[in-house]
Structure 1
Amino acid sequence: MPNLKKRYVPFTYKMMIPYLLLVLLTDVLIGYISYTMLTQSRTEMAETNIRTGMEQARNNIQYQMDEIQRMSDTLFGSVAFQRALQKKGEPLDIYLTMKDEIIPQIVSPLQLFGNNIRFMLYTPNSDMIIINGDNLEEPIKQSDYYILPLRDIESTDWYQLHKNSERNNLWVQIDTDKKLDHISHIRKLVSYSDYGAIIGYVRITVPLDALFGNLATFPVEEGITVRLIHQLTGERVYQRGPAELAEQAELGEQTGGSDAYLRLHEPISGTDFAIETLVPKAYLTKDAGKLQRVILGVCAISFIGMTFIGFMVARLNGRKMTRIVMLVRSFQEGNFQKRIRFSGNDEFVRIAEAFNMMAMNIQELIDSVYLQGIQKKQAELEALQAQINPHFLYNTLSTINSLANLGEIGKVTEMVQGLSRFYRLTLNQGNVHIHLGKELEQVETYLEIQRVKYADAFTVQVDVESEILDYQVIKLILQPFVENVFKHAWFGETIAIRITGRRMNNDVELKIIDNGVGMRPEQVRLLMTGPSQTGGYGVRNVDERIKLRYGDAYGVQIASIYGGGTTVRLLLPAGHGDAADTPEFPKLPY
């Protein structure tokens, strides 16, 4: 698989993920707690307001009931009123008695009471003058009083229920009270001389709306229901607000589910009644949506703000980390001259100082080791070069000696002159590199020396692209292979040599081709890797010098067919430049 380079992401940006999760969790937790507390506070406040309203309503009802109770107490304790109520006689006397003793004691409290009420006096005294007020089937529009015969109520259920009862001073709904939303106070009047003798009944009727007074503290338009219930029977005496909620409340009590409303209970002392308020949970939490939006907005702003702050901190630290990473990468690439500077006194400054010190130490170490390596390679290359020159010189001098023994003075002179030109090119003013054109000229000089010996027994063809003639190559890389052709490849009377050169992308390919005797594969292998033998010394020498100078990607390759000739291939990097200006080894890689 290809080695894909991963994109660098600073660690501070990675830390943003848990940081943002922590901020989000904190905002959610704070928002939830705030929402819960505010909702609970709002609920408690609403409940407190309603309870306060219930207490006010209870106090108002109790006050009015007490006032009505005092009216009946006044009549019950008035001896004059009792005597007048039991008086018998002529109609005129009865009229005057009622005018002076009965009616004033009835009218006076009616005028003092703050609300409209009906005062009814039922008497068994048949001599009493009957006084009918307004229609009892209609709601109370103004305060009025009635003096009625007891026989009018003797057939009613409520009278039959209470006449023998020991209970007195009762608040009940009788006759049309329930239909008209009234409630009545019933009291027996007994004789002061005989407590067992009933001399009449007092019934004071008051509208429940007037009894409750102002219900502004109970916003019934928002679903709150206020009602007056009888605690013993559970009967609903009066109700203000949606009837549906009351029905749901009663159904919830029967089924055991009452989560949709809050039930508040306030008993009225001294009576069998209690005020009950049903508050929908929706009313208690009516501001929850607004609170939720506000809290969400605050949490969102907080999260965005903390995200921005975290991003700025991560960006600042990320830049520093990126600079450190870039420095490390430059170290990987061999550049140890870069340094990093941070201001302040934090951990980044400490890291930068440590990196700078490490880079300086590594640079000094590399300078020392690399210089030693250069010196070693230079010594090896010079040693290999020295091996080439004496080898060729020995062969040439041996040939000159043979010609001199044969008396070929002209040929000796020609070979000595050729040898002089050859070594002038070989020395190359002490430079290791030489233009490829000069290298070919050196080969031509060597061939001229060989023509003195072999005359026209060999042919040479040079086919080198002109554009690569100015390229720099190591000197003495072609001549050893041409020399080997004469020494080892020749069989028969003639031999042909072909030298080619061409550009291959960023490389130069040189070939020395002959049609000589060729070699078997094992001979080729021994020539390149085996122990030194005749002909193998120069081949390995050239290969080692190329690899030492350019690297293992370059060097010498030999292809040969036994009986069919040999091809030597040299692969070199392409490069221009003046040989005198070209350094023998590359500088340090930074």
Structure 2
Amino acid sequence: MKRLLGLKDKRMSFGFKLMISYLVFALTPTAVVGMIAYQSSVHSIKEQTRVNLSGTLEQMRDNIDYKSSEIKRSSDQLFYDLTVQKLLRTYKEGWTSYDSLQNYMLPTLQNIMLRASGKLQVRLYLAEESFPEIYGELDSRNDPLNENNRFDIYHLSRIEDESWYKDLPWQANPDAIEPKVYRGEEYVWSQVENDGEFGNVSMIRRLVDFDKGKTFGILRIMVKVDALLEAADYRKLGDSSTLSVEDSEGKTMRLSGVTDNNFGETAGRQTFTIQDVLPGLGWKIIASLPQSVLEKDARHVRNLTLLVCFISTIVLIAIGIVISRYFSNGVKRVIASLNAFRSGDFGSRMEIHGADEFAQIARAFNKMSKDIDLLIQEVYLANIEKKEAELETLQAQINPHFLYNTLSSISRLAKMGEIDRLHDMVMGLAKFYRLTLNEGKTHIPVTKELEQAITYLEIQKIKHRDRIQVWYDIEPSVYGYETIKIILQPFLENALQHAFFEDEMSLKLMARREGDLIVFGIVDDGVGMSKEQLRQINDPNGVKIGYGVRNVDERIKLQYGQAYGVEFGGGQGIGTSVRITVPAIRIGGRNA
């Protein structure tokens, strides 16, 4: 798509941005409508699923409530039988009590066992210590419900120290229960002792004297959890569902479904969950279905929505490409002209016909380009002329001063009769001025600039005798290149004027090529400059140094650009170094 829109780099073109904006405004309504339709379908399916699950859970709840109520009704036979109550409360040793126990009490308990629809065990814990205990073999390692239905009678003192007994509601908070209004509804379902180990659960019920409201015993009926919660089967909800039953403390009593009895595995799944309360037990039954199951019927709507959106996107992209290319042609022409303008081609003009906005931009740009081209030419020529005038002024300043000092030295040599040195100085002076004039040219070969600097140093060596030591490090690689004239002599003169602080001084003149640069260097061992002075001199906005030195730096930058020029180095007491860089341009104007 980027190739169709003319994108050649990582930046987005105007046409591409135009097409993106068009697609955003065109596709947004389609996406919104599709999303609303999809969400509505999912919501409808969720609501229908919720209704179905609620109905199924209600059936399970009723079945479980029926079983738990059946066990409670079985306990009612014992709980509301006044004869049994009287016997349990007032048992005394003797024939009458023994006969009542054998002929009425025990048959009643046996009848409860026989009427039970499944395996259960009844345990009576009585406060009356004179009542005889009746129980089988006590072994906590065996499941009590593995044996046939039976009942046991124990003294309440056996469990008075057990934590589960102390935690019973009427034991833990006796003040919250009004004994006189007690109607036998106080019972709890809980796993006590070893119930959890064998998968059992107990209904624990308080036996109360209706007349006095006093507890005279505890009734405990044990049943299998699976038998009690047999109706809680996940398959009634679906193969992908999970069904769990939790007690009042949040403990899982039964779990069935895709988790294979590991409910934690469902934590990372997106599920739809509903729950209901089991009234007889006070527990919760929780059903969970994966979100994917709920959305199964919505996939058709989703796929259809995606198909419509995809086709719409393809059509709108095609329309967007045509429209964006139509409108971006003018912008691309403007960009091409601006890029040419930026690269320095001020003669570039836009060719856009018509009377629209792009045509107006083209006419304004063409006029601006023409005006700027003329202005730049005028400013550039003015700067060149200014620097040439400054150079001529510099030469005019250098020539009389240098000529005066040199003639004075020639006069002293003549008086002293040093004819050879006199001859060398006169010849050097003639050569220096011949090289300086250079027929009025601004650009000269590097060899001539070096020759002029060397001639200047030779004259100074004759003048200062042995006080100046000069070394040259000139690489042949600089031959064949050109530079602007008089860029070395001002720094040599500056060093001879300001660097002396002892009777002798050494100077080194260097020239070499570094890649696409010609580098000149001048190093002295004079007084040098501090770090702060060097920082300020090298800072374009810092202090201004001598006129001739500053003139050289500005002329280089004007001719070749800001990347070239003069840079100072060294340190106080160790001398000064000057680095002068110009581009490596061969004689005749061809870059290296």
**Category of TM-score, reference length = shorter chain:** 0.3 to 0.5
Larger Rg: 1
TM-score (norm 2): 0.44
TM-score (norm 1): 0.45
